[in-house]
Amino acid sequence: MSRRPSFLLLAMMLLAIPVRPRAACLAPPQPRLHLPDFTGQGGELVVIVNPQNGVAQLTPEEVTNLFMGRQKRFASGLVALPVEPVGDAERRSRFYELLMNVPMSQVRAFWARMYFAGQVQPPRQAQNSDEVIEIVLANKGAIGFIEKAKLNHRVKAVLVLGSPPSP
């Protein structure tokens, strides 16, 4: 009997561990202006959708839910098709660092858990930002991310991640 309270105490302590504020652990609703550059690549990343997608803006939490497969549709009911540039490993890592504050290895482990349980399909893979834009243009429900320098009027930006270059 003496072990039961000790286990419960341990579990309660674990749940009560002080962690970094949620806003720093996952994407905060406010624009991120002072996040460190995890990859040394610098610059902002822009989350883009097809212009015909009715959504005007997304929060980091909403983007996280769409890319992690927790939500398979936009609020309008449109089926979401997340796209990521796997040929650009640094940008891909930076995206998840900025969005969720987790390294790519942890994202891969998460996807393995979901995929091999038959729960969701990982994001569609593109080689680079140009291909991400092509897929977003060709699919009304597609959502991807590119560097801000690649942004053009043919796609719609719904979220900006990362800090702008220091003055």
Partner 1 sequence: MGPARVRSQSLGLALTLAAGLPLCAQEPAPRWNFSGFGTLGVMATDTDKVGFIRDLSQPYPGATDHPNARPDSRLGLQLDLRVSDTLHGAVQVVSKERYDGTFKPQLTMAMLAWNPVSNLSVRAGRLPLDQLLGAESRDAGYSYLWVRPSLEVYGQFPVSQFDGVDLAQTFDLGGGTLLVAKVFGGFEQEDVPIVGSPPYRDSGARAAGFHFDLTRGPWTFRYAWDTGRPHHDWPPKISILETAMAQYAIALSDPRLAQTGTGLGLVGSSARLWGVMGAYEGGRIQAQASFTRFTTNRLISPNLWTGQASLGYRVGQVVPYAIYSRVDSGHPQPYLGVMPSLPDPITTAVVAGVEYAVAYAHSDRHTLAGGLRWDFRPNMDLKFQVDHIQNHNSLVDWQVIQPGWNGRANAFTLTYDFVFGRGR
Q: Which residues bind partner 1 (CB under 8 A)?
A: 3-4, 7-8, 10-11, 14-15, 17, 19-20, 22, 24-27, 29, 59-62, 64-65, 70-73, 75, 77, 79, 81, 89, 100-106, 108-119, 121-122, 124, 135, 138-142
Residue nearer to partner 1 on the CB measure, 42 or 103: 103
Return the SS3 of 158: strand
Beginning with the edge strand found earlier in the chain, give each strand of the sheet holding 81-85 in spatial order: 124-126, 81-85, 142-147, 45-49, 156-161
Tokens of 157: 């930006």
**Cα separation of 122 and 81, whole Å?**
10
What's the number of CA atoms in the CB half-sphere (13 Å) around residue 68? Answer: 19
- Shortest CB 141 distance to partner 1, Å: 6
Residue nearer to partner 1 on the CB measure, 45 or 83: 83
- Shortest CB 100 distance to partner 1, Å: 7
Residue nearer to partner 1 on the CB measure, 28 or 43: 28
